[in-house]
Amino acid sequence: MKRLFHLRLRDITPRGLYPRSVLMVILPVILLLTAVTYIFYDSHWRHTSRKLSQTMASEISFMVGLRDRYPDQFDMLREDARQEMQLDVTVLEGVSLPTEQKQLFFTALDEILSRELDVALEEPFWFDISGYGETVEILVQDGNDVIRFIAERDRTFSTTGHIFIVWVIGASGILIALALGFLRNQVRSILRLTEAAKAYGRGGDGGDYRPSGATEIRDAARAVINMRTRLTAFAEERTTMLAGISHDLRTPLTRLKLQLAMMDDSPELEEARQDIQEMSAMLDEYLAFASGKAGEAPSEFRFDTLVSETVASLGGRARIRQSDPVTLSGRQGLIRRAVSNIISNAQGFADEVEVEVMQGPHLVELIVDDDGPGIPEDQRADAFKPFHRLDASRNQNVPGTGLGLSIARDTARQHGGDIRLEDSPLGGLRVRLRLPL
């Protein structure tokens, strides 16, 4: 039961930080205003209005009794009531009470006055608290005549209660606006830090981001910047070291190639040349995997065009099934290499390859299907391991270093995306590359 309530509460609460923060600020204020308004209405305004209505009903009952006891002196008594009780009394001879009772939007006023008049008077009565502006009209049937009483509204009800409510709501609104403005500045700092961290993760420099906001947010931003600086320095050091390794290894390989070229052709020499060629390809793949093209700057480009060009450069064996026009921002060279690795890997193990580019609300998908032998589900995680080849299930005669999918997944994750391996409708393997827009 607790788990069900937790899930329901999580489903109805906002997902974003700023909406949640706004809810935490506004909801307690609304609950407090509701409680204060109810307590004020029930304990103060309603009680005060009931006492005033009770006094007015008693005065009206008193005047009706005086007319019954002193009919000849009632005119003088009416004048005294106007001066002493601020109550205008008029006798309407030979008329009856209206049959329709006027209703207010706020019916609590009607209920209070009606209850007190019903207690104080034995005669039928009718009242209208809406037709005379700041006054209240009360009619009492006295025999064949009607006595009309007109009094100021503030003598019957508490008329200042709404002022308190307006002041409370107005002050709360101003305080909420100030709190939301301050909260927005704090959340903006967090959002800017998030965007900068995403840019760092995609290989960008984060623009002119500078830490701002509260002390804790500034500390977190400085920690992110320092981490990026250390990682960048480590990557540059690794790239420099690998560049030296590349120079040291390529020189003896080139010397071996020249020596073999000067020898007479033989089956043994041809095998040696192929071994050297594979060693050169392996070295190139390793350097590309380790360095990650650290020097390339992100840019905007047409992803669908990049896929079409890659398919054409690989011989056009793959068929483009669907291609939505998509503009992507990222390291074009890295993404091109990842796409090339995925498609060439499929072409190396299958006769039929289909490519599809689909744009979603927040991401773009590259789907590559083939009719090859596929990869068992329990071995798909191993397919992303560097230099790991699934030769037991794939064609062992296909050349390669086992870095194609590793480089592709590393590129996808650098750009905030990922790669998934699934069963293909063609009977082989489906590779799904996802990149955020």
pLDDT in tens, 177-222: 888 888 888 888 888 888 888 777 666 666 677 888 778 888 888 8
Residue with tokens 């040696």: 272
Residues 129, 13, single domain; the answer is yes
Residues 63, 50, single domain; the answer is yes
Do the domain assignments include residue 245?
no
Residues 140, 168, single domain; the answer is no
pLDDT band at 396 (very low <50, low <70, confident <90, very high): very low
Q: So what's the pLDDT on residue 326? A: 87
Asked if 125 and 113 touch (Cβ cutoff 8 Å), the reply is no
Residues 11, 139, single domain; the answer is yes
pLDDT tens figures, 51-64: 888 888 888 888 88
Q: So what's the pLDDT on residue 6? A: 52
Asked if 328 and 303 touch (Cβ cutoff 8 Å), the reply is yes
In whole angstroms, give the CA distance from residue 144 to residue 127. 18
**Percent of residues, the chain, with pLDDT higher than 70:** 82
In whole angstroms, give the CA distance from residue 36 to residue 172. 12
Residues 171, 146, single domain; the answer is no
DSSP for residue 387: T
Do the domain assignments include residue 281?
no
Residues 130, 202, single domain; the answer is no
pLDDT tops 60 at residue 293: no
Residues 44, 23, single domain; the answer is yes
The stretches of 323-372 forming alpha helices (DSSP H) are 332-349
**Percent of residues, the chain, with pLDDT higher than 90:** 7
Domain of 78?
A: 6-159
Residues 102, 227, single domain; the answer is no
Asked if 113 and 127 touch (Cβ cutoff 8 Å), the reply is yes
Domain termination residue (choose one: 96, 125, 159): 159
Measured in whole angstroms, the distance separating CA 403 from the mean position of its chain's CA atoms is 38
pLDDT band at 355 (very low <50, low <70, confident <90, very high): very high
pLDDT band at 432 (very low <50, low <70, confident <90, very high): very high
Q: What's the CATH code of the domain at 10?
A: 3.30.450.300
Bigger pLDDT: 415 vs 357: 357
- Rounded average pLDDT over 70-98: 84
Q: What's the CATH code of the domain at 376?
A: 3.30.565.10
Do the domain assignments include residue 260?
no
Do the domain assignments include residue 369?
yes
Residue with tokens 């955020």: 436
Domain termination residue (choose one: 159, 187, 222): 159
Domain termination residue (choose one: 114, 135, 159): 159
Asked if 139 and 129 touch (Cβ cutoff 8 Å), the reply is no
Q: So what's the pLDDT on residue 107? A: 65
- Rounded average pLDDT over 14-26: 78
pLDDT tens figures, 408-421: 888 888 888 889 99
pLDDT band at 356 (very low <50, low <70, confident <90, very high): very high
- Rounded average pLDDT over 239-257: 74
Residues 118, 213, single domain; the answer is no
Residues 408, 303, single domain; the answer is yes
Q: So what's the pLDDT on residue 430? A: 92
Count up the domains in the chain and report the number: 3
Which phi and psi (to 5°) does residue 370 adopt?
-140, 165
